[in-house]
Amino acid sequence: MKRIYLITKRKEVPVNTAFDNLIAHFDEHGLSYRVDAEQRLIRTGYQGRVCSCELIAVADEGDDFFQVIAFVPVAIPEGCRAAVVETITRANFGLKIGKFEFDYDEGRLRFQVCQVLVDGRLDEQMIRHAIACCLSMIDRYVPAVLSVIYGNEQPQDAVRFAEADVAR
């Protein structure tokens, strides 16, 4: 298979069909974004019901994965980190797609969805579903995290309320 390369300031980067499809998706929907061609990622912002967050979409045929990661813009105070870990552990349990991840040392929270690229293919539906899943989980569970941090709510109750809200 012939490889085509993009020339960047630092080095040649192989052209990536999955990455091109990701860019095309954002262009077709009129979404603003920034591109990092070397890392094969797109950065954009999202304003949800509760918070705005940075969204990163990565399509790299080299490792056969497509990832969407939403970063929650709240620095978790040290004294609340154990309770937040319990909250996201409870939120993660039973999720079929995606997971919350927490950097305990830095106090950073994010949600990640990852899909395997079969034969390096990334289509419109995969992109749409991964982004929608990521953003809906942020909208669903960030209020639970915030209520644990700032409202002194117990993690079990916060998650139960977040999940009950969806069931209605």
The tens digit of pLDDT for each residue in 124-146 reads 999 999 999 999 999 999 999 99
Q: Give the SS3 label for residue 21.
A: helix
DSSP string, 80-132: GHHHHHHHHHHHHTT-SS-EEEEETTTTEEEEEEEEE-GGG---HHHHHHHHH
d(CA 157, CA 140): 14
Q: What is the pLDDT of residue 127?
A: 93
Q: Give the SS3 label for residue 137.
A: helix
CB 151 within 8 A of CB 142: no
Helix axis angle for 17-28 and 124-150, nearest 10°, is 70
Q: Give how many domains the chain has, as a whole number.
A: 1
| Torsion angle of the four alpha carbons 65, 75, 156, 91, in this order, in degrees rounded to the nearest 10 | -10
Task: Work out the pLDDT band at 119, boundaries 50, 70, 90.
Answer: confident
Domain CATH number, residue 58: 3.30.1460.70
Q: What is the pLDDT of residue 13?
A: 46
Task: Work out the pLDDT band at 4, boundaries 50, 70, 90.
Answer: very low
Average pLDDT taken over every residue of the chain: 86
d(CA 134, CA 34): 19
Q: What is the pLDDT of residue 16?
A: 61
Question: Which residue segment(s) compose the domain that 71 sits in?
Answer: 5-167
Handedness of CA 58, 59, 63, 64 (dihedral sign): positive
d(CA 54, CA 46): 6
| Residue 66, both tokens | 């497509």
Q: What is the pLDDT of residue 165?
A: 62
Q: Which residue has the higher pLDDT, 98 or 6?
A: 98
Task: Work out the pLDDT band at 85, boundaries 50, 70, 90.
Answer: very high
For 11-68, the pLDDT digits (tens) are 444 456 888 888 999 999 898 999 987 888 899 998 888 889 999 999 876 778 899 9
Q: What is the pLDDT of residue 15?
A: 52
